[in-house]
């Protein structure tokens, strides 16, 4: 399985508009300014592409999907998994039309009932049979998933996680890889689905300041140590994570991801 990190940033992205507006005076570590000259520190909104058995599975469709697809030259998409309905994870969906226009069947989306309802509600023109059927409408089939299911011969396990007060928030396990971009805590029944992981991709919002719906560095490291994968990559990072200074705090088997990073699992 090959994993491409299409985006690794939190909902604001890095650099953030806020820091640009105020001349970077309040950027905690100067990462937004740094990202203008050091592309590794520039983070589009979080998403990965998983290639397995010749098929390409997109996990989330970020508002930056268009530039991610162009950057990685993604030739086709065979299925889409949605973790949850926050804007940074689904607002690139209109650009999926460039792929569905060239495929005979609608593109299958999978997610919680809450996520699938949100997709249909946020983009009613896609699902309204009375909408104008010109060239601008993606062809999508929504599928509700709450238990393990098979996709292209691989078992996909929805991982129910707590992410603030949002209902229906998932991570996903595919074979030995688990992807959990947005999480505050892990229910015990989900913890049981994370044994014997090769690669864990886990939320790490920022260094220290507690957040209501995301893990921060010490919490992310503690959860990763408890799960115990062979390798852990942190994702969904704000401008508070500097690869050099914060990277030195990680265990040897942990790493901060970056846009365009590719790993095998």
Q: Which is nearer to Zn ion, 100 or 220 (CB)?
A: 220
Return the SS3 of 91: coil
Residue environment code for 30-60, b if the CB has 16+ CB neighbours within 10 A, otherwise e:
ebbbbbeeeeebbbbbbbbbbbbeeebbbbb
Which of 206, 239 has the CB closer to Zn ion?
A: 239
Binding piece for Zn ion, criterion CB under 5 A, among 58-66, 79-87, 149-157, 204-212 = 79-87
Widest Cα–Cα separation across the chain = 56
CA–CA gap between residue 44 and residue 63 (Å, rounded):
9
Size of the site for Zn ion (CB under 5 A): 8
Is position 182 an interface residue for Zn ion (rule: CB under 5 A)?
A: yes
- Binding range to Zn ion, per CB under 5 A, among 13-21, 36-44, 95-103, 186-194: 13-21
Q: Does 239 bind Zn ion (CB under 5 A)?
A: yes
CB of 223 to Zn ion, least distance (A): 17
What's the residue count for the chain?
Answer: 265
For Zn ion, give the closer residue by CB, 137 or 234: 234
Classify 153 in phi/psi space as left (phi over 0), alpha (psi -120 to 50) or beta. left
Each residue 86-115 as x (binds Zn ion by CB under 5 A) or -, in order, gives x-x---------------------------
Residue nearer to Zn ion on the CB measure, 42 or 140:
42
3-state class (DSSP) for residue 196: coil
Please identify, among the stretches 58-66, 78-86, 91-99, 115-123, the one whose residues bind Zn ion according to the rule CB under 5 A.
Answer: 78-86
Between 78 and 240, name the residue whose CB sits nearer to Zn ion. 240
The nearer residue to Zn ion, 52 or 169, going by C-beta atoms, is 169
Among 19, 52, 194, 197, binds Zn ion (CB under 5 A): 19
Sketch the per residue contact string, 24 through 53, with Zn ion: x for CB under 5 A, - otherwise: ---x----x---------------------
Distances (CA, A) of 59 to 39, 152, 157, 211: 23, 15, 13, 24
Residue 243 CB coordination number (10 Å):
17
CB of 20 to Zn ion, least distance (A): 8
Q: Please, which residue, 6 or 52, has the CB nearer to Zn ion?
A: 6
Radius of gyration of the chain (CA): 18
Q: How far is the CB of 5 from Zn ion (least distance, A)?
A: 14
Q: Are 216 and 204 in contact (CB under 8 A)?
A: yes
Query: Over the range 92-120, which residues count as b (16 or more CB within 10 Å of their CB) and which as e?
Result: bbbbbbebbeeeeeebebbbbebbbebbe
Note the residues at the interface with Zn ion (CB under 5 A). Answer: 16, 19, 27, 32, 86, 88, 182, 239
């Amino acid at each position: 399985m090959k994993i491409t990190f299409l985006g690794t940033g939190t909902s604001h992205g890095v650099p953030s508009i806020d820091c640009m507006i105020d001349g970077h005076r309040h950027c905690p570590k100067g990462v937004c300014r740094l990202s203008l000259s050091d592309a590794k520190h520039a983070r589009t909104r979080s998403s990965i592409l998983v290639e397995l058995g010749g098929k390409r599975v997109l996990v989330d469709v970020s508002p930056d999907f268009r530039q991610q697809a162009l950057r990685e030259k993604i030739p086709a998409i065979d299925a889409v998994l949605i973790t949850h309905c926050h804007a940074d994870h689904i607002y690139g969906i209109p650009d999926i039309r460039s792929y569905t226009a060239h495929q005979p069947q609608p593109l299958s989306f999978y997610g919680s009932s809450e996520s699938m309802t949100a997709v249909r509600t946020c983009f009613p023109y896609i699902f309204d049979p009375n909408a104008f059927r010109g060239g601008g409408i993606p062809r999508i089939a929504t599928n509700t998933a709450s238990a393990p299911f098979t996709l292209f011969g691989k078992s996909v396990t929805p991982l129910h996680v707590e992410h603030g007060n949002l209902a229906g928030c998932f991570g996903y396990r595919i074979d030995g890889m688990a992807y959990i971009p947005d999480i505050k805590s892990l229910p015990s029944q989900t913890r049981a689905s994370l044994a014997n992981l090769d690669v864990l991709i886990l939320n790490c919002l920022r260094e220290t300041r507690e957040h209501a719906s995301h893990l921060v560095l010490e919490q992310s490291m503690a959860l990763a140590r408890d799960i115990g994968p062979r390798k852990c990559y942190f994702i969904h990072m704000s401008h508070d994570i500097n690869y050099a200074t914060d990277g030195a705090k990680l265990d040897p088997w942990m790493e901060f991801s970056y846009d365009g990073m590719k790993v095998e699992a």
